[in-house]
């Protein structure tokens, strides 16, 4: 009750500010823009991030036209759709890094805006294959005259280092459970296996078909015509226009003229017309006599807790600033979400290619504890594989985007025998042990028969435990799950058909469904995030410590599809170059891991 007077006072101040500014906005109403400019770049979040109450500054401020979240973008489009004086929007697209689910959400928002009788004009300088369907969601597609349309389809690269490592005296020794658990093949195979190739091809086929369908509908061409156009890419601006892939070539400075916002007087050349800026939403709001006001609510909005599990899942603690999901951070976030009485439900957002078995089981147990208190829904739009999928099993339901990478139920473990490299470098080590398997983790030699047998038994036990968790969560038998497992990887659509996820949908749908399970009435809600990504970690170091099956299970398909999963794989980037591999291995051989 103490907050009510403060809310009333805040609303009174908002009312006074609105009333005092109304005369100025009425005066400016005659200059209300017919088109409002938005700039869509990077990977804006689904929902607006809550800003800290007290901040010392730092970081770059967004430009006035920047789309800061899909939530805010949708609110802006719905506001503009109601104004009869607004003809439409100009959507400037630049270096998008959106996963498929977010691209679908943007396209849906633009379709809703167009259905209200408004016009969408898209414009870009550089357009890649992933970005082009977003541009095609507009009524008119524009490209800068010097621009490029890199419409070439999709590709993925799989690497095999086995032969190269053997040439420098390194013998990778990995044991896996499941032929489809292909992550160790990066080190053990001289060439990419047929299984890895077929798995990657299945994802490329799905994404390619979706691309062809989107372009075919938007540009009014047959699928065969679109395939032929893709095969002829990339395109310069003039070629793209000649082939009907864009509607016109327009410089940024000429966009107002192209949209009819500037009239060229008789006898004047277009270049002699005074420059006119396309206005952003903030400028538009200055011309609306009574713009929407965010009144302070007497009754708080229902809250949904968001707990991200992003990056490689590892045990222990971590420092902020990277792409790891440490047990300590995620479990603490889950406990906080469970304790928060205002959070009626929890959305577990999983974006992980896998990680440590023991860490994922700890997080799974924490998810299950929270799920006994309030509804928990797991959502995946990029990668939810191996240990990442294990974590998601604690939720009441699993929701996936159509083309997310899902599954990879399997186990591997191993180490690198660097004895050949050490001999080349003139380094001599003597391993002295007490206990038959005490030298299991040593890099100075390979596994003995006894060590290999012990590790194989441990891996089999881990695999059976993994099957048991999945079978219990999905209401199936271990035999049924085994037929779907052994490292097999699925898209969200195929995972739904296989019974590994419950529903295909978008982020907002999953959020609202989670709240509906808590019997929260449909409407606006607040999203509060608990936890964050952790410190960076060398993937090489992670795998070199993988002789224990407690550190297993990365999904190599997500590595190969790096073009589509940049966020998940960015932490791997520095470890895929020969120089980095060799330097790290030499440091290990010299007994100086820190260099």
Q: What is the β-pairing status of strands 320-326 and 376-380?
A: unpaired
Task: Note the pLDDT of residue 228.
Answer: 96
Full pLDDT tens readout for the chain, 595 residues: 555 665 666 656 655 665 655 565 555 555 667 899 999 999 999 998 765 444 444 455 677 889 999 999 999 999 999 988 899 999 999 988 888 899 999 999 999 999 999 999 999 999 999 999 999 999 999 999 999 999 999 988 888 888 888 888 888 888 888 888 888 888 888 888 888 888 888 989 999 999 999 999 999 999 999 999 999 989 999 999 999 999 999 999 899 999 988 765 555 555 554 556 688 888 877 776 656 656 566 567 889 999 999 988 988 876 434 478 889 999 999 999 999 999 999 999 999 998 888 899 999 999 999 999 999 999 999 999 999 999 999 999 999 999 999 999 988 888 888 888 888 888 888 888 888 888 888 888 888 899 889 988 988 998 999 999 999 999 999 999 999 999 999 999 999 999 999 999 999 999 999 999 999 887 888 899 998 654 444 444 444 444 444 444 566 666 556 544 333 333 333 333 334 444 444 444 444 433 3
81 and 180 in one domain? no
pTM metric for this prediction: 0.82
Q: What is the DSSP letter of 62?
A: P
Contact 105, 70 (CB under 8 A): yes
Task: Note the pLDDT of residue 296.
Answer: 60
Separation of alpha carbons 587 and 43, rounded Å: 37
Give Cα 457 distance to the centre of its chain. Answer: 36
DSSP letters spanning 175-197: EEESTT--TTHHHH-SS--HHHH
517: β partners = none
Taking the alpha carbons at both ends of the chain, their separation in whole angstroms is 60
Separation of alpha carbons 28 and 416, rounded Å: 71
- The tally of domains found in the chain comes to 2
Task: Note the pLDDT of residue 17.
Answer: 60
Residue positions annotated with a catalytic role? 181, 386
* CB-CB neighbours of 570 under 10 Å: 14
Q: In the structure encoding, which two tokens stand for residue 103, read together? A: 């691209």
Separation of alpha carbons 205 and 563, rounded Å: 15
Q: Which residues contact 385 (CB under 8 A, 6 or more apart)?
A: 352, 353, 354, 405, 406, 407, 408, 489, 555, 557, 558
- Residue numbers of the domain that contains 504: 162-201+299-589
Looking at 285, 317, 345, which one is the last position of a domain? 285
* Residue 418, SS3 per DSSP: coil
| Triad 257, 260, 265: Cα angle to 5° | 70
CATH of the domain at 41: 3.90.226.10
495 and 357 in one domain? yes
187 and 119 in one domain? no
Least Cα distance to 392 among 349, 445, 341 occurs for 349
| Triad 318, 322, 325: Cα angle to 5° | 55
357 and 233 in one domain? no
Domain assignment present for 290:
no
225 and 173 in one domain? no
Q: In the structure encoding, which two tokens stand for residue 517, read together? A: 């399970």
At 417, which helix (H) or strand (E)?
strand 411-417
DSSP letters spanning 527-559: EEE----E----HHHHHHTTTSTTS--B-HHHH
489 and 395 in one domain? yes
Least Cα distance to 196 among 408, 501, 459, 413 occurs for 408
179 and 121 in one domain? no
Least Cα distance to 403 among 559, 208, 555, 227 occurs for 208
Separation of alpha carbons 64 and 445, rounded Å: 60
Q: What is the β-pairing status of strands 320-326 and 248-249?
A: unpaired
Q: Quick one: three-class SS letters along 456-484?
A: HHHHHHHHHHHHHHHHHHHCCCHHHHHHH
Separation of alpha carbons 113 and 116, rounded Å: 5
87 and 99 in one domain? yes
Task: Note the pLDDT of residue 513.
Answer: 95
| Triad 364, 568, 231: Cα angle to 5° | 135
Domain assignment present for 408:
yes
Domain assignment present for 146:
yes
Task: Note the pLDDT of residue 4.
Answer: 64
384 and 362 in one domain? yes
Domain assignment present for 291:
no
Domain assignment present for 209:
yes
Burial of 103 (0-12, 13-18, 19+ CB in 10 A): buried
Helix locations, 82-138, DSSP H: 100-115, 132-136
280: phi then psi, degrees, rounded to nearest 5: -90, 180
Looking at 222, 251, 285, which one is the last position of a domain? 285
Domain assignment present for 148:
yes
Task: Note the pLDDT of residue 181.
Answer: 85
Task: Note the pLDDT of residue 183.
Answer: 83
328 and 264 in one domain? no
* CB-CB neighbours of 107 under 10 Å: 17
């Amino acid at each position: 009750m103490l907050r009510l007077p403060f809310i009333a006072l805040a609303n009174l101040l908002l009312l006074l500010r609105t009333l005092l500014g109304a005369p100025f906005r009425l005066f400016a109403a005659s200059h209300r823009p017919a088109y409002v400019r938005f700039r869509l770049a990077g990977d804006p979040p689904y929902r607006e991030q809550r800003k800290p109450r007290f901040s010392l500054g730092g970081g770059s401020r967004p430009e006035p036209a920047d789309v800061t979240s899909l939530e805010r973008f949708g609110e802006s489009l719905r506001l503009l759709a109601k104004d009869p004086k607004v003809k439409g929007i100009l959507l400037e697209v630049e270096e998008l890094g959106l996963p498929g689910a977010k691209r679908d959400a943007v396209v849906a928002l633009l379709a809703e805006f167009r259905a209200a009788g408004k016009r969408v004009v898209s414009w870009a300088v550089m357009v890649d294959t992933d970005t082009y369907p977003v541009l095609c969601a507009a009524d008119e597609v524009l490209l800068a005259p010097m621009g490029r349309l890199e419409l070439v389809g999709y590709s993925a690269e799989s690497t095999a280092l086995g032969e190269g490592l053997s040439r420098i005296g390194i013998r990778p020794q990995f044991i896996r459970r499941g032929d489809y658990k292909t992550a160790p093949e990066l080190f053990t195979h001289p060439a990419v296996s047929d299984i890895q190739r077929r798995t990657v091809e299945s994802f490329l086929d799905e994404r390619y078909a979706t691309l062809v369908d989107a372009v075919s509908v938007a540009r009014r061409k047959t699928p065969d015509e679109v395939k032929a156009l893709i095969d002829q890419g990339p395109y310069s601006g003039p070629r793209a226009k000649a082939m009907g892939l864009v509607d016109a070539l327009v410089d940024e400075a000429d966009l107002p003229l192209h949209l009819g916002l500037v009239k060229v007087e008789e006898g004047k050349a277009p270049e002699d017309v005074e420059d006119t800026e396309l206005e952003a939403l903030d400028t538009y709001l200055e011309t609306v006599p009574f713009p929407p006001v965010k009144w302070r609510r007497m009754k708080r909005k229902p809250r949904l807790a968001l707990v991200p599990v992003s990056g490689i899942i590892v045990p222990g603690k971590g420092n902020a600033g990277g792409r790891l999901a440490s047990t300590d951070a995620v479990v603490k976030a889950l406990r906080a979400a469970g304790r928060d009485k205002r959070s009626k439900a929890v959305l577990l957002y999983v974006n992980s290619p896998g990680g440590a078995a023991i860490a994922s089981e700890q997080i799974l147990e924490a998810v299950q504890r929270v799920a006994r208190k309030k509804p928990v829904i797991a959502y995946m739009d990029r990668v939810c594989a191996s240990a990442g999928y294990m974590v998601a099993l604690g939720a009441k339901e699993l929701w996936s985007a159509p083309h997310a990478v899902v599954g990879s139920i399997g186990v591997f473990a191993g180490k690198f025998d660097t004895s050949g490299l050490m001999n080349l470098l003139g380094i001599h080590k003597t391993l002295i042990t007490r206990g038959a398997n005490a030298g299991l983790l040593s890099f100075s030699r390979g596994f003995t028969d006894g060590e290999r047998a012990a590790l194989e038994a441990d891996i089999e036990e881990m695999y059976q435990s993994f099957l048991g968790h999945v079978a219990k969560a999905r209401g199936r038998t271990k035999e049924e799950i085994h037929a779907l497992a052994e490292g097999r990887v699925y898209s969200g659509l195929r995972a739904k058909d296989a019974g590994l996820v419950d529903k295909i949908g978008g982020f907002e749908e999953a959020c609202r469904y989670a709240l509906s399970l808590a019997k929260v009435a449909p409407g606006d809600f607040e999203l509060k995030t608990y936890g964050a990504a952790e410190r960076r970690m060398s993937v090489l170091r992670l795998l070199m410590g993988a002789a224990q099956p407690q550190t297993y299970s990365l999904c190599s398909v997500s590595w190969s599809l790096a073009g589509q999963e940049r966020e998940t794989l960015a932490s791997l980037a520095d470890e895929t170059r020969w120089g980095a591999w060799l330097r790290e291995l030499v440091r290990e051989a010299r007994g100086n891991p820190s260099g």
